Structure 1
Amino acid sequence: MKMKLTRTLIASGLLAGMSALPAAAADDLVKQGEYISRLGDCGACHTIPGKPAFSGGLAIESNLGTIYSTNITPDKEHGIGKYSEQQFSDAVRKGVLPDGKRLYPAMPYPDYAKISDADMHALYVYFMQGVKPSAEQPPETDLSFPFSQRWGMRFWNWAFTDDKPFRPIGGASAEVNRGAYLVESLGHCGSCHTPRGIGMNEKALDSGDEKFLAGGSLNGWEVPSLRGLPHWTEQETVDYLATGRNDKAAVGGEMTSVVEHSTSWMTDADLKAISAYLKFLGGNPPAPAKAAEAVSATEAKLTAAKSLTTGERLYLDNCGACHFVTGKGAPRIFPELDGATIVNAGDPTGLIHTILAGAQQPSTAKAPSTLAMPGFAARLSDDEVAQLATFIRQGWGNKADAVSEKQVREVRETLKH
């Protein structure tokens, strides 16, 4: 009887039947939905500082222009309070609003399409019963022609999305498949870590394609591949997602918000499942062995502090106190520079941006301290930043290309906006 009632609720999209459930069961469903909203990172895009939760208004910069997130509180005029459960599901999974209006894929509905019916039901109940209504009216998204013609998204969806439910990986453990479900659906990790095609579409939507999670680019930052994570142990991945730091790295860029609003709230079991799934994928070769002579030579020269290049001198003056002459930093405090992905990326934008603007690790339940790196935009010229970045990219075991003054100037310009 209980199963029939649940199915009726899902099919009808009405919450009136919730009154027939015990109060404790209804509360549990709201709590489950709240956790699922964390898994989906809904708050990161639909909440901005100083405004009510989920009331929208975040400006999302894209190649098409600025897209503003919407109010997804249960307010009946400005939010989603009039949505039936089916309409809510269509918006989340298909990017289609009740009036037929099409969402842009800044809303990751190509990934959310794999969310299970049970999780979608709990998510709907949470937004209708657990979120406070807000009458905030976010700015309207107004892209230039032809991108303003949302009806065209119908054809984009036909070409680039897949409405099939999540498909477990045959032969994989229950833990790996739980991780696969979280990564491929609610976590929408592929929206950043999968390369984009000619239509700005994700080239793959699940582990059945080797391009899935093979790395990409976001706002000029090179986004690393997550396949196998050969440089990290499974526990280091768990630590990074839970706290924004591990023994080798610290979070930066867009990932800072993901850790703050989503992964740091996940259960240990779910974090371990994600880590196990990423290791299961494989696809990345092990890190090449570092030339011990080059590592020792950099360390020895910085220690002696004689006949330094401009880049080496700038490193000692500005970076050495935290990252040390070894480039190893301090575990869980200051990240490694020797072998770091952001340092060795083909596109140095991420490293340049970090040097200019600094970075701050989020405060999480398991790591409440907010360690910050200062920005050096006011202290260093474009030429100095270029020489510093070049040294970091070529010191120790790093073997990346030099950075030009022009590249630094272009990144500095973006900071003004």
Structure 2
Amino acid sequence: MSIFREPSCRSLPAGESSPTAVRLKAVSYGGIGAPALVLLLFLTSAVAQTDEFDDAELIDRGRYLAIAGDCAACHTSDSDRPFAGGYPMEMPMLGTIYSSNITPDAEHGIGDWSLREFEGALRRGVSKGGRNLYPAMPYISYARITDRDIRALYAYFMHGVEPQAEPNRNNDIPWLLSARWPLKAWNTLYLESGPYEVDPDRGEAWNRGAYLVQGLAHCGTCHTPRGIGFQEKSLSEQGNHYLAGGPVLAGWQAYNITPDDDSGIGLWTEAQLIQFLKSGHVNRLAQAGGPMAEAVENSLARLRDEDIHAIATYLRAIPAVRSDGGGPRQRQGQPSQSVIALRGKPLASDIGEDVDGARLYLGLCASCHGADGTGSEDGYYPSLVHNSTVGAHSDHNLRQAILHGVRRDIGQGAILMPGFARQLSGEQLAALVDYLRQQFGGRRGPDAPDRAAP
């Protein structure tokens, strides 16, 4: 049976009654009467519903699907209270919204939600009681989740998650912008409802990858550029701009992950892509930071090998999109000689107001990345030469990494790069970024058209 096909229910032959109906019929004929029959029907339904979702195998499946959907990333602000909500998200032109409690707590969470109400939130962005959710909740992508997987997720959140009596926080949105009714119009324009449909012309791995990328993993939420209505320009490989990159939260940039040789990952081998998805690291090529590091740590690194292979299969087969120019971002630059020439010369431990990029590099970066920028032989300290972040068209992610560092723990030892936000002035940051991009990334310096503000 295909993993996308829902099991069919057995139909009763004409004239045949179900065992439950026969038992109820017998009780009714015994003289108990209509009130008792109604009560018995209610109790039978309640027991059936409890038994239906309190199933270890179904809960286990839902737990895995919640990992694939990276639900914890947005709905957990305190690791001691998973899924209790309160995580802040900056929304363009609106303000800050806080994720909701999705534990089975009946007062503050979703403990009294029905399966239908749960499905409505995931697929249509409509909460219990009919309130529209902000599209920070990726229901645009979750609309593709199959009925079978919706049921498994419901079982997990009702029976596999500890209830947390954590009240939901009020959003920090100006009153005039807090109305929810415009979201109904937004959904009418941009929401494509309906579960994923298998492409019969593609193999099972491709279809599984498409299902994960378009749906649960919601890759397009970050990696697809947005339109004038803040909508994803495409929701699948059948549209233009799909996965061509775009800005994300906190100043980071999601890269083009289509198989374009220059703008995307067209020069990556399948093995390199799989390694990156599982670890967030490919030496001399790419290292995940910011939101992508969180996605790797919380979700991708914990997926089964066959699902990672399916994602890679799909990403390597979708149409390539050219989103910026200047040559392949991972084929730029060369090892530094200027920094090597500085070794042995006096360099104060306090970088002070030095604005020479090479000296800043030597004082802050060379101890890990090497004086020539080629990193360590084992790849733990990545090379900056031919590095896809250093050589990218935009300097956003390079600046964010310098300012805030990189943290990633995937069970094979933590990856930690310190941030230098407290040590660098705006002028120093600009000088260091310019040096890195010119020396190791082959990019232009201060005249770069997309310079990000410090």
Identify the TM-score tier after normalising by the shorter chain. 0.7 to 0.9
What residue number does 2:239 align with?
209
State the alpha-carbon separation in 2 of the partners of residues 403 and 255 from structure 1: 28
Aligned residue among 57, 61, 64 for 1:28? 57
CA deviation after TM superposition for structure 1 residue 337, in Å: 2.1
Query: Which residue matches 1:370?
Result: 414
Tell me, which stretches of 5 or more residues in structure 1 are unaligned?
7-11, 412-417
Q: Residue 371 of structure 1 aligns to a residue in which SS? A: strand
Secondary structure of the structure 2 residue equivalent to 1:351: helix
Q: How many residues align?
A: 394
* Runs of at least 4 residues off by over 6 Å: 289-292
Counterpart of 1:61, as a letter, is E
- Corresponding residue number in structure 2 for 1:82: 112
- Give 3-state SS (helix, strand or coil) of 1:390's partner: helix
Q: How far apart, CA to CA, are the structure 1 residues paired with 2:112 and 2:52?
A: 22
Q: Are the equivalent residues in 2 in contact too, given 1:224–1:341 (CA < 8 A)?
A: no
Corresponding residue to 2:367 among 318, 321, 324: 321
1:174-211 deviation line (CA, Å, top 9, x unaligned): 11111110000000000000000111111111111131
Equivalences for 1:38-117 in 2 at 5 Å?
38-49=67-78, 51-63=80-92, 64-117=94-147
TM-score in terms of structure 1 length: 0.86
* TM-score with structure 2 setting the length: 0.79
Report how far residue 402 of structure 1 moved.
2.5
**Structure 2: 5+ residue stretches without partners:** 1-6, 12-41, 260-264, 346-354
Instruction: Quote the Cα distance in structure 1 between the aligned partners of 2:399 and 2:119.
Output: 41
Contact preservation (8 Å) 1:249, 1:332: no
User: 1 or 2, which has the higher helix percentage?
Assistant: 1
Question: C-alpha displacement at 1:374, in angstroms?
Answer: 1.7
Q: C-alpha displacement at 1:19, in angstroms? A: 5.8
| Alpha-carbon separation, structure 1, partners of 2:440 and 2:173 | 46
Structure 1 residue corresponding to 2:273, chosen from 215, 225, 237: 237
Higher Cα radius of gyration = 2
2:217 aligned with 1:182, yes or no? no
Q: SS at the partner of 1:67?
A: strand
Once the two structures are TM-superposed, the CA of residue 22 in structure 1 deviates from its matched residue by 11
| Residue range with higher mean Cα deviation, 331-340 or 98-107 | 331-340
Cα contact 1:111–1:185 (8 A) shared by 2: yes
Q: Does 1:356 align with 2:403?
A: yes
Deviations 1:63-108 (A, max 9, x none): 1110110011111111111111111000111010121100000000
User: Aligned pair 1:398/2:427, yes or no?
Assistant: no
Taking only aligned residues, the RMSD between alpha carbons, in angstroms, comes to: 3.0
343-352 vs 280-289, which deviates more?
A: 280-289
- Map of 1:132-151 to 2, 5 A cutoff? 132-151=162-181
The alpha-carbon distance between structure 1 residues 79 and 316, as it changes in their structure 2 partners (threshold 3 A), is same
Deviation at 1:390, TM superposition (A): 0.1
Q: Report the more deviating stretch, 269-278 or 377-386.
A: 377-386
Q: In structure 2, give the amino acid aligned to 1:16.
A: V
Residues 1:194 and 2:224 aligned together? yes
Distance across 2 between alignment mates of 1:290 and 1:35: 34
Counterpart for residue 4 of structure 1: 9
Distance across 2 between alignment mates of 1:21 and 1:151? 35
Contact kept? 2:70, 2:299, Cα under 8 Å: yes
The whole-number CA distance in structure 2 between the counterparts of 1:16 and 1:340 is 58
TM superposition shift of 1:165: 2.3
Which digits, 9 at most, give the CA deviation of each residue in 1:118-139, with x for residues without a partner? 1001000111111111111021
| Residue in 1 that maps onto 2:291 | 254
Percent identical pairs in the alignment equals: 37
Deviates more, 1:141-150 or 1:326-335: 326-335
For the pair 1:304 / 2:350, whether they are aligned, the reply is no
Measured after TM superposition, the shift of residue 323 of structure 1 is 1.8
